[in-house]
Amino acid sequence: MTCRIGIMGFGRIGRNIFRILHQDRDLQVAAIVDTAAPEALEYLLRFDTVHGRFSNVALEDGVFYSDGRSIPLLSHARPEDVDWKALDVDYVVEATGRYRTRAQLEGHLAGGVARVILASPPESLEDVDRLLIAGVNDAELTADDRIISLGSCTLGAVGPVLKLLHENFGVGQAYMNSIHAYTNRMRLADVPSEDFRASRAAAENIIPSTTYTPNVIGRVIPELEGRLQGLALNVPVPDGSCVDLTVFLEKPTSAPAINAVMRSAAAGSWSRVLEYSEDPIVSSDVVGNPHSAIYDGLATIVLGDTMAKLLIWYDNGWGYAERIVDTISHVHAVDEGRS
């Protein structure tokens, strides 16, 4: 049975989801909600600085036409303003980045949808029914989980690697540095902000910031509660990020052994989430990569036999959008009794 999806917020993630789904017959975008002008939304979908042109769309009288389907564009400011039931929408992807509390997200449920997929970290863990990392805790999803978040793209990248390390060698403590492409929340020029570092020009500086992942890793991998710390550095690239991960392991190992774990996982049941690479890749080489994590086998270092330093690449926009689509497929299967 076809699943009809509503997207609220047609920014980078919303447009990536649209591109991924535009020819899918089982998962169909049924409506888009955004306060921007329809002409501006069509333009940014057709011409993308990072991912290139997308020609399979036309706009007429506030309606997108793509692959023979009509998709209405609606202008509403708040979740509770949208009548999703009238639009025959099953699930909503909340991609504005503004509505991250339970009270706000329940506005979508009141509009008639079965589930809300939050395409950003929630305000707090209590604001969602389930925090998912693809490949790590998907099996925990239940029919009662109506508000779901995938956390951040960085959580999705580092989570699978930490889980594999802990299962094979035991993770005592770990430190991560997320080297992250700048985002549209940052400044193009030096402009005042409450966060002084965030007020600096993102395309001209390396800007230290906090990272969401250490605070929530224990929610999805309980054994790692309190064992991960880290920070983020926003750097002057438009896309393509990586995690520089240092891990103190409980069992002696070697770089070839760690690589063998990651390579075999990527070739097996983790193949949709994890890619293993021994090519000399750089950040632009992972743009458009559909995996949550691209493990860099050339970068693995083991000092002594229990301290490991690893490099994990990811497209911070596209890979995250792919996991949202996977999550929609998964919850649809659960709701139809197929999983």
- 210 DSSP assignment: -
Q: Which two tokens stand for residue 161?
A: 């690697």
What is the DSSP pairing of strand 115-118 with strand 130-131? unpaired
List Cβ neighbours of 17 (8 Å cut-off, separation of 6 or more).
7, 29, 93, 95, 119, 321, 324, 325
| Whether 3 is catalytic | no
> What is the DSSP annotation of 83-112?
-TTTTT-SEEEE-SSS--SHHHHHHHHHTT
How far is residue 111's CA from residue 208's CA, in Å, rounded to a whole number?
40
Q: Which two tokens stand for residue 50?
A: 């990072």
List Cβ neighbours of 101 (8 Å cut-off, separation of 6 or more).
122, 123, 124, 127
Closest CA to 307 of 229, 264, 251, 234: 251
Give the Å distances, CA to CA, from 263 to 147, 270, 282, 298, 299. 34, 10, 19, 12, 14
Closest CA to 30 of 55, 54, 58, 2: 2
Contact 293, 314 (CB under 8 A): yes
Q: Which of 21, 109, 153, 312 is catalytic?
A: 153
* CB contact burial 92-104 (16+ within 10 A = b; e otherwise): bbbbbbebbebeb
Contact 200, 225 (CB under 8 A): no
Residues labelled catalytic: 153
